[in-house]
């Protein structure tokens, strides 16, 4: 059962509040004096490497998907400053993290099976090459 502040990613995966750390920072951009006085931007840190809620294979994919947002310690940092209110930025950061984890939970596509061209397609390609070569060979100075 999920606690009030746990992050529900899917029906089976729930990230506990202990694995999340929020820090409120000042946001840049428009907003007048509000920007200079109020810390509305949210920096959400998810301790992915130590979280048992996410399966190990999905954890590897998650760190790969996170790219530059992942730290060397295996944490994922998400900054949200899209909105002017702290609560909406907090919800935005949590939803972006949940979406990233959902993407990592999807299994990777099966590996590509190598195929060979059919004999007919190879013959058609070689015949076309021969035809182009004949056309080019017949070009040149005209004999008088």
3-state secondary structure of 54: coil
Instruction: State the pLDDT at residue 16.
Output: 79
Domains of the chain: 7-105 (3.30.160.20)
Give per-residue pLDDT as tens, 22-54: 888 887 766 667 666 778 788 888 888 888 888
Instruction: State the pLDDT at residue 22.
Output: 84
pLDDT over 90 at 111, yes or no: yes
Give per-residue pLDDT as tens, 60-88: 888 888 888 888 888 888 888 888 888 89
Can you name the residues that pair with 15 across neighbouring β-strands? 7
pLDDT over 90 at 59, yes or no: no
């Amino acid at each position: 059962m999920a606690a009030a502040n746990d992050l529900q990613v899917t029906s089976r995966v729930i990230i506990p509040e202990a694995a999340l750390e929020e820090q409120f920072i000042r946001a840049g951009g428009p907003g007048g004096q509000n920007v200079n006085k109020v810390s509305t931007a949210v920096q959400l840190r998810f301790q992915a490497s130590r979280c048992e809620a996410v399966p190990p294979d999905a954890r590897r994919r998650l760190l790969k998907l996170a790219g530059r947002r992942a730290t060397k310690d295996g944490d994922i940092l998400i900054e949200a400053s899209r909105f002017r209110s702290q609560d909406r930025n907090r919800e935005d950061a949590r939803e972006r993290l949940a979406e990233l984890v959902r993407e990592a939970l999807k299994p990777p596509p099966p590996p590509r099976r190598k195929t060979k061209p059919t004999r007919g397609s190879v013959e058609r390609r070689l015949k076309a090459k021969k035809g182009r070569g004949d056309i080019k060979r017949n070009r040149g100075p005209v004999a008088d």
